[in-house]
Structure 1
């Protein structure tokens, strides 16, 4: 159960600027929920789906910089660990372990740097949105910048569902 008096402080927020190749999101932060599902990471995909985040999959993360300009993405590590760089080549390196969840606003670059042999991750999108995959090619820029601006804030948090912190944190970006 989500307790807004406590849990908002446990969610790390990271902001990234457009680096000329990876646009990132101009206003919304990446949200990192460390260890939120450590007791049952394997059930992450079904919890995403119950919380209104679907079109889900289980696999890995590409080892090239990429982003989705037309959808936000939630990722939950279900086994092992992964070291990612978020935000493009000059972004921030993070390590995610089994039970961690990261939510990437549309346009946010991500790339796998290293992973354990048993690494598995599940991804999902608000309302089951169909997502594209972009790599920062110069010809993408005008269209993807418009697409990023048009992606709406989800109705539910992928971890906590209705009333969860994502909507508040993304609507009130100064929190």
Structure 2
């Protein structure tokens, strides 16, 4: 566990799982990059998880842009990769579009979604909230329909971030994403 005494939070010894998704109906998902779920990226008892995720994302060049829930309709982002840090509550999220994989997320977890990955809030407990960050230079959009061939090519050409949003130079993004390039 890493203790960031300057900011007052503990970065846990994070466990993660990575998995690929095939395109599904109108949702392109990402044929090159896996989704990554970080379990206990931050310790839930470390205080203000929203502020802690914001500091962590900013430090690793994934500036935070908003705090809220996850939309309860299927959508994806074609113009940016996304990291979601769970700051409160728990939820079941459908990843991959309609009929996709259901994942359970709890306070302290984070979900890394490569551009094109469908996601939708299925259910939640308590006041479920996330902080969202995006790689420097990428601006998110909201898509609910299939991409044109040119849009798909642009999405697949998005640059790879140089740092993992949770673990900086040593995380699964570096291991799985940069080796896919």
TM-score, normalised via structure 1 length: 0.87
C-alpha spacing 1:82/1:144, structure 2 compared with 1 (3 Å): farther
Residues 133-173 of structure 1: CA distance to partner in whole angstroms, max 9, x if unpaired? 101x24x3324311221111101110012343312211235
Determine the structure 2 residue equivalent to 1:20. Answer: 25
What pairs with 1:19-168 in structure 2 (closer than 5 Å)? 19-39=24-44, 40=46, 41-42=49-50, 43-135=52-144, 137-138=145-146, 140-168=147-175
Higher helix share: 1
Aligned residue pairs total 166
Given candidates 6, 11, 18, the residue that maps to 2:16 is 11
Unpaired runs of 5+ in structure 2?
3-12
Secondary structure at the aligned position of 1:88 is classed as coil
Cα distance in 1 for partners of 2:178, 2:63 equals 22
Please tell me whether the aligned partners of residues 36 and 172 of structure 2 are also in contact (alpha carbons under 8 angstroms). Answer: no
Deviation, 1:55, is: 4.5
CA contact (8 A) 1:53 1:128 kept: no
Query: What's the RMSD between the two structures over aligned residues?
Result: 1.9
Extract unaligned runs of 5+ from structure 1. none
**Structure possessing the higher relative contact order (Cα contacts under 8 Å, 6 or more residues apart):** 1
